[in-house]
């Protein structure tokens, strides 16, 4: 009688990204938030199909109309459909959020990568510049710069507004937020690169003759991609909230472009008489920002190696 032996089952190996996605799928709040973000993205893309009315169509005979069958969320001070304006406003809010997050992540990653990898004078120069930028009073400077582009009569700014039309204020807001928003990403990337730049696999790549560019982009960046994604996710929510705040103060994206922020600004003087005017745009901002923050929390837990089995 011969003894039979069974071979041990092969253990399937997963990459870091695959392990993170498996953990993310078990994070209920993050998955609900991701579904909501995808829904809002679809709404923004197909706003022209979903919106029942032209967001800029005025009905001066029915200003401040209450919610009704034809206007489910009511009408504003010019008789425009609030529901259609919120739908079209999602385009601007998400465009600003995603654009700021992507550009801040790219610029911050580049600066942090250079500082953390080369060290020495390069690190000193970049770190001192980051510290200088972080010391600046961000909100007042954002208000001043945005206000200059909104009201300035300088030829360059006037030509920019004339050539780009209503989208000029969107471009300005995105630029302002990127200028003052890349430093946190840079510091995160710098710290992580300094931690892993002398690990064994980096030394092995260097010993095999890999160039600095190859080491940075083929060996370091893939291993810090998790913190970049997490930081960018939080940046989207922050940019949406920041754009709404500037537009509410009158220094953001200007009418006739419909944004949630300038809808709140238009309603601030009649909030007690017509409470539905600020309620629904505010609710859209609240849910969208919360969704990105919950998704960021889920991604942070998923990419945390200490929390991964």
Q: What are the backbone dihedrals phi and psi of residue 81, each rounded to the nearest 5 degrees, phi first?
A: -70, 120
pLDDT band at 1 (very low <50, low <70, confident <90, very high): very low
Statement: residue 9 has pLDDT above 50? no
Q: Is 81 helix (H, G, I), strand (E, B) or coil?
A: strand
Q: What are the backbone dihedrals phi and psi of residue 284, each rounded to the nearest 5 degrees, phi first?
A: -65, -45
What is the per-residue pLDDT across 253-293, written as a single tens digit (0 to 9) for each? 877 788 888 888 888 888 888 888 889 999 999 999 999 99
Label each residue of 242-260 as H, E or C.
Answer: HHHHHHHCCCCCCCCCCCH
With beta carbons less than 8 A apart as the criterion, state whether 295 and 36 touch.
Answer: no
What is the per-residue pLDDT across 130-180, written as a single tens digit (0 to 9) for each? 999 999 888 888 888 777 776 666 676 667 667 766 677 788 888 889 999
Highest mean pLDDT pick, 13-27, 39-53, 153-167: 39-53
Give the domain 27-45+75-307 fold.
MetI-like fold (1.10.3720)
pTM, whole model, 2 decimals? 0.84
Q: How far apart are CA 108 and CA 105, in angstroms?
A: 5
Residues ≥6 apart with Cβ < 8 Å to 274: 64, 66, 74, 267
The per-residue pLDDT for 215 is 87
Compute CA distances 291 → 77, 91, 276, 278, 287, whole Å.
30, 16, 22, 20, 6
92-109 mean pLDDT: 92
Compute CA distances 255 → 69, 143, 170, 212, 225, whole Å.
26, 17, 11, 48, 38
Residues ≥6 apart with Cβ < 8 Å to 223: 16, 196
High-pLDDT (> 70) share of the chain, %: 88
What is the per-residue pLDDT across 231-251, written as a single tens digit (0 to 9) for each? 999 999 999 988 888 888 777
Residue 223 CB neighbours (<10 A): 16
Q: What are the backbone dihedrals phi and psi of residue 197, each rounded to the nearest 5 degrees, phi first?
A: -70, -20
Residues ≥6 apart with Cβ < 8 Å to 154: none
What is the per-residue pLDDT across 58-95, written as a single tens digit (0 to 9) for each? 888 888 888 888 888 888 888 888 999 999 999 988 99
Strand partners, 81: 75
- Across 93-111, b (16+ Cβ under 10 Å) vs e yields bbbbbbbbbebbbebbbbb
Q: What are the backbone dihedrals phi and psi of residue 75, each rounded to the nearest 5 degrees, phi first?
A: -130, 155
Spans of all domains in the chain: 27-45+75-307
High-pLDDT (> 90) share of the chain, %: 30
């Amino acid at each position: 009688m011969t003894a039979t032996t069974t071979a041990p089952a092969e253990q399937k190996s997963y990459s870091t990204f695959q392990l993170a996605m498996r953990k993310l799928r078990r994070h209920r709040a993050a998955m609900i938030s991701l579904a909501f973000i995808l829904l809002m993205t679809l709404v923004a893309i197909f706003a022209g199909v979903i919106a029942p009315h032209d967001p800029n169509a005025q009905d001066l005979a029915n200003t401040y109309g209450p919610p009704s069958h034809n206007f489910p969320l009511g009408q504003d001070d010019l008789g425009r459909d609030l529901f259609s304006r919120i739908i079209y406003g999602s385009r601007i809010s998400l465009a600003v959020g995603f654009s700021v997050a992507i550009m801040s992540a790219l610029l911050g990653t580049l600066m942090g990568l250079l500082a953390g990898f080369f060290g020495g004078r390069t690190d000193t120069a970049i770190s001192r510049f980051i510290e200088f930028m972080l010391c600046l009073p961000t909100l007042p400077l954002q208000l001043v710069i945005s206000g200059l582009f909104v009201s300035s009569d300088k030829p360059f700014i006037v030509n920019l507004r004339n050539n780009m039309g209503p989208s000029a204020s969107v471009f300005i807001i995105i630029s302002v937020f990127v200028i003052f928003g890349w430093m946190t990403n840079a510091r995160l990337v710098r710290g992580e690169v300094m931690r892993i730049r002398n690990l064994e696999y980096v030394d092995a790549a260097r010993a095999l003759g890999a160039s600095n560019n190859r080491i940075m982009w083929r060996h370091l960046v893939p291993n810090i991609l998790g913190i970049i994604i997490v930081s960018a996710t939080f940046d989207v929510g922050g940019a949406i909230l920041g754009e709404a705040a500037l537009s509410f103060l009158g220094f953001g994206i200007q009418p006739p472009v419909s944004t949630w922020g300038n809808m709140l600004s238009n309603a601030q003087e009649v909030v007690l008489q017509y409470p539905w005017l600020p309620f629904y745009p505010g609710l859209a901002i609240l849910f969208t920002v919360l969704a990105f923050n919950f998704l960021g929390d889920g991604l942070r837990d998923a990419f945390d190696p200490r929390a991964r089995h």
